[in-house]
Amino acid sequence: MIEEGSKSSKSMVEKRQLFMEMRAQNFDVIRLSTYRTACKLRFVQKRCNLHLVDVWNMIEAFRDNGLSTLDHNAEINVSRLETILSSIFYQLNKRLPTTHQINVEQSIGLLLNFIVATYDSEGHGKLTVFAMKAMLATMCGGKILDKLRYIFSQISDSNGVMVYAKFDQFLREVLKLPTAVFEGPSFGYTEHSVRTCFPQQKILLNTFLDVLMADPPPQYLVWLPLMHRLANVENVFHPVECSYCRSESMMGFRYRCQQCHGYQLCQSCFWRGHASGPHSNQHQMKEHSSWKSPAKKLSHAISKSLGCMPIGEPPHPVFPEAAERPQDLAHTTQLRPVASNMNDTVLISSGTPTPSKSSTLESPSRLDEEHRLIARYAARLAAEASNSTQCPPTDLSFNFDANKQQRQLIAELENKNREILQEIQRLRLEHEQASQPTPEKAQQNPTLLAELRLLRHRKDELERRMSALQESRRELMVQLEGLMRLLKDEEQKQASQTGTSPHSSPSHSASCTMPMPIRSTSAGSTPTHTPQDCLAGVGDDVLDAFSQGVPRNLRNDLLVAADSITNTMSSLVKELHSVDDGLEEEEENMRNGREKVSSLKHSGKRQSTPSF
């Protein structure tokens, strides 16, 4: 029971980890709910590493996991959702360079807990296919135009007309995201959301994009384009001083007051509602996502006044009014990763757009769109030139200069496109060179590391065996010393008893048992002494025999010791035999003498006896 309680508490901590980290960022100090919601969702996106997954990669993951053939209302369980997320992040790690690898297990766990908390708050363990598609397509990386095109393909019929019921279902699912980050009162779902966004009856793709990418967008989805703008300005630098905090530079957004001359705020001060001097929070502020020097502003204004720049350009390309089919990546090429820095990963493809605007390398499809735009501008300029022939002669020189500048602008754009293509090719070559194996990578080869660990283990075994051999040698030396001591004692004892040489005295203690020392260390212990330490406790005779001169082989030492013991025992046995033979001769002589004495006594008695 205790283990189950600990496991449940651990799972609860893991589920609340993302929300606890989000609360630690203190986003609630942001005054405006739109920025507050966008910052929270951007934090979730980056913490789960969804900003590295392009929308086209997400669509490909849907197709690979068989979600394209399922009905939108079909339900999937949490285990299958985890499998889908695993395929997404493992494929992402394959595309990323080795220096930019992510923690796949952590990303899967955080995102899975966030999706379950958002779409399965009642704990049924299931969610619909459409909910999962809407959430992942909205929170992944990529351009907002590509996301909206994919979403429209999921909510339109075969004629390319939006189905209001499906768009209503999309709003239900996507507006659960602000609710999950505690912004439900500001961006919660209502039944009038659909008609508020689209009062028209027939909605095609271009109308759908015009409404959702307008400035401002619909109130319920105003946080969605802001989240993309936040991603684009995270590393933008403004060399301007903030009028409130006096910071000499700004990162991110820059806000300029439309009433107070020269009054500018950084995004931190503006989000928190700081104001100083005559400025008030009620003044209208303009958001800037880039910095232009005064010279660039002047050239921009001149180009715009001369007609070199299109006026009123739509926020997105105009797409044909045909049916927008569901996006299918069956014939697209695999993305190739090129890392620009730690915060921005650029993906180059032959047929898919790139996920970042701040350091974007345009794909060939995007370049084709630019060429078409250039051709359309050229056609418009040609039409204007034909109309300018009817103008008074005083305006001919002005029109000629304008046309010349426009042709120069077109040439500059074409040169820029060529430079972009060359840059793409250079980055591809650099990536291929960087992917080649290097000695540093070879050192991280798991096979080499396994062999190194095996060698270290073998070394430890050899050291332990050496320690055991040294201990055995010491024991043999102690036994040899004891044997030599016994032999000396017996020789001295026999010499003292008989007064003869020590070699002629018998020994009755040759069969005495030898002292067997107890081993203090096991064979598997780690060696803690040197080979010279094994002679500690050994007598001087043995120590002198085995410690003089150059150290010899252990095997030779043992053989010499055995030979000496054998010779000593042989000489002892010979001496014992010689002593026994002498004793037997003396006993035989004494018996003969006693027999002679007894025979003499008997003969004397017979002679002295009187005869009757």
Residue 586: is its pLDDT beyond 90? no
Peptide linkage before 216 cis (omega within 30 of 0): yes
pLDDT, tens digit, 9 for 90 and up, residues 82-137: 999 999 999 999 999 989 999 999 999 999 999 999 998 888 889 999 999 999 99
pLDDT score of 436? 67
Sign of CA dihedral 546, 552, 554, 556: negative
**What is each CA distance from 207 to 27, 198, 227, in whole angstroms?**
34, 9, 22
How many C-beta neighbours within 10 Å does residue 53 have?
26
Least confident of 116-130, 188-202, 308-322, 526-540: 526-540
pLDDT, tens digit, 9 for 90 and up, residues 509-566: 444 444 444 444 444 444 444 444 555 555 555 555 555 444 445 556 666 766 777 7
For residues 72-85, average pLDDT:
93
How many C-beta neighbours within 10 Å does residue 256 have?
17
Q: Which of 291, 235, 242 is nearest to 265 (CA)?
A: 242
pTM for the predicted model, two decimal places: 0.52
Q: Which residue has the higher pLDDT, 303 or 78?
A: 78
Task: Identify the DSSP state of 341.
Answer: E
3-class SS shares of the chain: helix, strand, coil, % to 5:
60, 5, 35
pLDDT score of 192? 76
In a 13 Å sphere around the CA of 246, the CA atoms on its Cβ side amount to: 1
Q: What percent of the chain has pLDDT over 90?
A: 31
For residues 295-315, average pLDDT:
57
pLDDT, tens digit, 9 for 90 and up, residues 504-516: 444 444 444 444 4
Q: What percent of the chain has pLDDT over 70?
A: 62
Q: Which residue has the higher pLDDT, 417 or 38?
A: 38
pLDDT, mean over the chain: 75
For residues 474-493, average pLDDT:
83
Q: Which of 323, 292, 332 is nearest to 54 (CA)?
A: 332
DSSP assignment of 514-567: PP-PPP-S-TTSPP-S-GGGGGTT--HHHHHHHHSSS---HHHHHHHHHHHHHH
Q: Which residues of 408-417 are buried (b: 16+ CB within 10 A; e: fewer)?
A: ebbeeeeeeb
Beta bridge partners of 254: 266, 288
Residues 6+ apart with CB under 8 A from 497: 505
pLDDT score of 495? 80
- List the beta strands (DSSP E) in 253-320: 254-257, 264-266, 285-288
pLDDT score of 536? 55
Residue appearing with tokens 């020590």: 502
> Under a CB-based contact definition with an 8 Å cutoff, are residues 259 and 283 in contact?
yes
User: What distance in Å separates the CA atoms of residue 127 and residue 79, rounded to the nearest whole number?
Assistant: 11
